[in-house]
């Protein structure tokens, strides 16, 4: 299983080669990413998971290690799938800098999920920050450059807090290994533990798009191209969701129970998640630019996912994992199609996209299916996620009733603005407006396939139930499972 290093090394080597490959760089990026995806699926189906891979022959906690479990490799599969889709929907020829930066981002996103060491987690997080900054700024106009600079400033500031927290961990426990930290967390003074958790949360909340650390998100999506939006959502966002499961729900839990060790901090995170949901959905409701609508919606969906993880019981965590998958698929559909709709209409305002659904009914229908899934309508994948969250919240404390109310209210708000957009797509086109281009066939095919996946999971959730249950069990027994993988003889 040492071959798992390929998931980091091959994209990094490709990033270097892309600097000299010139016109072959796009083909090389596609080949590398397809290899990453196929290789990840082979690992997932190999029957050899879970396993800890020691780098350079040095055993943890003294050496660096990668930890491959069904949960981590499952997230790798999603990240690489988003990477493939982002490459296929690129418009026009991109320079070697674009593909080189993209491959660094791919390696770093994989690294965040695989690493068993928090300092290397910090390194990979920094690489993703610089990579996505460069990709957002790639159009080299005022809008994209401003968005990139804003993100870079926030991400760099957050990284400083994360690094300070990591430094305190090393100073007090003498280790950087996640499994080793998890086994020694009870040795920390309660105030020191609180300080460490707060510093590390501050460091990762920017990437997780949580209020009030998410002010960069709308401008980043607005400034970036459709392919970069898929990277932001499918690669960076998915890696961020994994961060919660491994950093918070493995390293800082009560005897590996899936509950954060500090109740007050856990409740504070829940409040932040609920505020994120409420503020984001209200902002999306009042927004006319379709990219910003999807950006605010992404923030709200991430708030839902974190709310589920922080509740900490089985139903809520199952719901959170269903939401990870459903949001990944549905939002990818919307970002892919939005790029086509903007190119056709010549406008980023959804009110100017009348008639596109009539001209391309498959694309319009796929957009509707993605929207219904995000709303949590029955028989669509997102329904099972929101249902699990509500069931988990009902079985939680009385405080969770507020969460249920907010989830239900924001679902209605979400439904109103998505249905308004979908309705506009199927109106008669204004006679004085002409479409500037046609939607590309391969983008419609990608959206249609993903829409079918949403319906399949919605009608028959058992298709991924065993995978979701495996991931949930890994979290509910996270510390003991994770420590036993890394330190089998302890």
pLDDT digits (tens, 9 = 90+) for 186-232: 787 888 888 888 888 888 887 777 777 777 777 777 777 888 888 88
Q: Which of 438, 437, 288 is nearest to 360 (CA)?
A: 438
Q: What is the mean pLDDT of residues 36-54?
A: 85
Q: What is the mean pLDDT of residues 317-324?
A: 90
Q: Read off the pLDDT band of 388 (50, 70, 90).
A: confident
Residue 479 vs residue 72, higher pLDDT: 72
pLDDT of amino acid 401: 82
Helix (H, G, I), strand (E, B) or coil at 256: coil
Q: Check pLDDT > 70 for residue 489.
A: no
Question: How far apart (Å, rounded) are the C-alpha atoms in residues 92 and 15?
Answer: 20
Question: CB atoms < 10 A from the CB of 408, how many?
Answer: 12
Question: How far apart (Å, rounded) are the C-alpha atoms in residues 454 and 331?
Answer: 11
pLDDT of amino acid 54: 80
Query: What percent of the chain stands above pLDDT 70?
Result: 94
Q: Check pLDDT > 60 for residue 1.
A: no
Q: Check pLDDT > 80 for residue 490.
A: no
Give the pLDDT confidence of 63-97 residue by residue, as tens digits: 788 888 888 899 999 999 999 998 888 876 667 67
Q: Check pLDDT > 90 for residue 148.
A: no
Q: Where are the beta strands (DSSP E) in 380-484?
A: none
Separation in Å, CA 482 to CA 115, 160, 256, 405, 476: 12, 27, 9, 35, 11
Q: Token pair of 181, please?
A: 């930290």
pLDDT of amino acid 253: 77
Q: Check pLDDT > 70 for residue 257.
A: no
pLDDT of amino acid 80: 92
Query: What percent of the chain stands above pLDDT 90?
Result: 9
Separation in Å, CA 364 to CA 317, 354, 445, 452: 32, 11, 12, 14
Average pLDDT, the chain: 83
pLDDT of amino acid 449: 92
Question: How far apart (Å, rounded) are the C-alpha atoms in residues 77 and 57?
Answer: 27
Q: For residues 429 and 355, is the Cβ–Cβ distance under 8 A?
A: yes
Give the pLDDT confidence of 287-311 residue by residue, as tens digits: 888 888 888 888 888 888 988 888 8
| Domain regions of the chain by residue span | 1-259+478-490, 262-459
Q: Check pLDDT > 80 for residue 258.
A: no
Residue located via tokens 């982002």: 86
Q: Read off the pLDDT band of 454 (50, 70, 90).
A: very high
Count of helices and strands (H, E) across the chain: 21, 2
Question: How far apart (Å, rounded) are the C-alpha atoms in residues 233 and 310?
Answer: 21
Using a cut of 0.75, tell me whether the model's pTM lies above it: yes
Question: How far apart (Å, rounded) are the C-alpha atoms in residues 463 and 329?
Answer: 15
Question: How far apart (Å, rounded) are the C-alpha atoms in residues 457 and 378?
Answer: 11
Question: CB atoms < 10 A from the CB of 391, how many?
Answer: 18
pLDDT of amino acid 259: 61
Q: Which of 447, 141, 417 is nearest to 296 (CA)?
A: 417
pLDDT of amino acid 436: 66
Q: What is the mean pLDDT of residues 396-410?
A: 80
Separation in Å, CA 166 to CA 119, 240, 261: 7, 18, 17
Give the pLDDT confidence of 261-297 residue by residue, as tens digits: 667 778 888 888 889 898 888 888 888 888 888 888 8
- Report CA 267 to chain centroid distance, whole Å: 22
pLDDT of amino acid 290: 87
Give the pLDDT confidence of 174-195 residue by residue, as tens digits: 888 888 888 888 787 888 888 8
pLDDT of amino acid 254: 64
Question: How far apart (Å, rounded) are the C-alpha atoms in residues 275 and 211?
Answer: 7
Give the pLDDT confidence of 238-249 residue by residue, as tens digits: 888 888 888 888
Give the pLDDT confidence of 439-450 residue by residue, as tens digits: 788 888 999 999
Question: How far apart (Å, rounded) are the C-alpha atoms in residues 5 and 337?
Answer: 34
């Amino acid at each position: 299983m040492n071959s798992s290093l390929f998931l980091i090394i091959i994209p990094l080597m490709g990033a270097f080669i892309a600097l000299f490959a010139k016109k072959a760089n796009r083909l090389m990026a596609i080949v590398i990413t397809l290899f990453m995806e196929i290789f990840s699926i082979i690992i997932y189906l190999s029957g050899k998971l879970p396993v800890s891979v020691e780098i350079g022959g040095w055993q943890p906690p003294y050496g660096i290690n990668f930890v491959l479990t069904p949960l981590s490799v499952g997230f790798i599969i999603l990240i690489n799938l988003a990477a493939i889709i982002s490459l296929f929907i690129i418009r026009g020829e991109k320079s070697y800098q674009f593909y080189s930066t993209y491959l660094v981002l791919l390696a770093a996103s994989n690294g965040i999920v695989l690493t068993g060491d928090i300092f290397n987690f910090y390194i990979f997080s920094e690489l993703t920050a610089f990579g996505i900054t460069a990709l957002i700024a790639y159009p080299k106009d005022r809008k994209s450059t401003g968005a990139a600079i804003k993100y870079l400033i926030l991400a760099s500031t957050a990284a400083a807090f994360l690094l300070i927290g990591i430094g305190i961990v090393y100073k007090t426990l003498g280790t950087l290994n996640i499994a080793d930290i998890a086994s020694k967390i009870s040795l920390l003074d309660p105030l020191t533990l609180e300080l460490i958790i707060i510093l590390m949360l501050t460091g990762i909340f920017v990437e997780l798009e949580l209020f009030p650390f998410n002010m960069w998100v709308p401008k980043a999506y607005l400034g970036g191209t459709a392919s970069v939006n898929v990277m932001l959502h499918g690669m960076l966002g998915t890696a961020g969701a994994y961060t919660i499961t491994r950093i918070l729900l493995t390293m800082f839990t009560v005897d590996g129970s899936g509950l954060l060790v500090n109740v007050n901090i856990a409740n504070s995170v829940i409040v932040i998640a609920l505020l994120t949901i409420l503020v984001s959905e209200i902002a999306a409701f009042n927004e006319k630019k379709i990219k910003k609508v999807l950006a605010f919606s992404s923030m709200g969906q991430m708030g839902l996912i974190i709310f589920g993880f922080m509740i900490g019981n089985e139903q809520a965590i199952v719901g959170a994992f269903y939401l990870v998958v459903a949001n990944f698929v549905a939002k990818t559909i919307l970002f892919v199609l939005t790029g086509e709709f903007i190119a056709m209409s010549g406008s980023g305002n959804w009110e100017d996209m009348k008639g596109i659904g009539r001209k391309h009914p498959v694309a319009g229908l796929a957009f509707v299916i993605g929207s219904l899934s995000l709303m949590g309508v029955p028989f669509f994948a997102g329904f099972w996620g929101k249902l699990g969250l509500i069931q988990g919240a009902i079985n939680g404390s009385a405080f969770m009733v507020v969460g249920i109310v907010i989830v239900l209210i924001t679902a209605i708000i979400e439904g109103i603005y998505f249905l308004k957009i979908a309705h506009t797509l199927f109106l008669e086109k204004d006679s004085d407006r002409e479409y500037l281009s046609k939607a590309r066939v391969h983008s419609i095919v990608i959206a249609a396939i993903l829409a079918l996946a949403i319906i399949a999971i919605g009608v028959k959730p058992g298709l991924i139930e065993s995978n979701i249950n495996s991931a949930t069990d890994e979290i509910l027994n996270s510390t003991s499972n994770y420590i036993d993988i890394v330190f089998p003889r302890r």
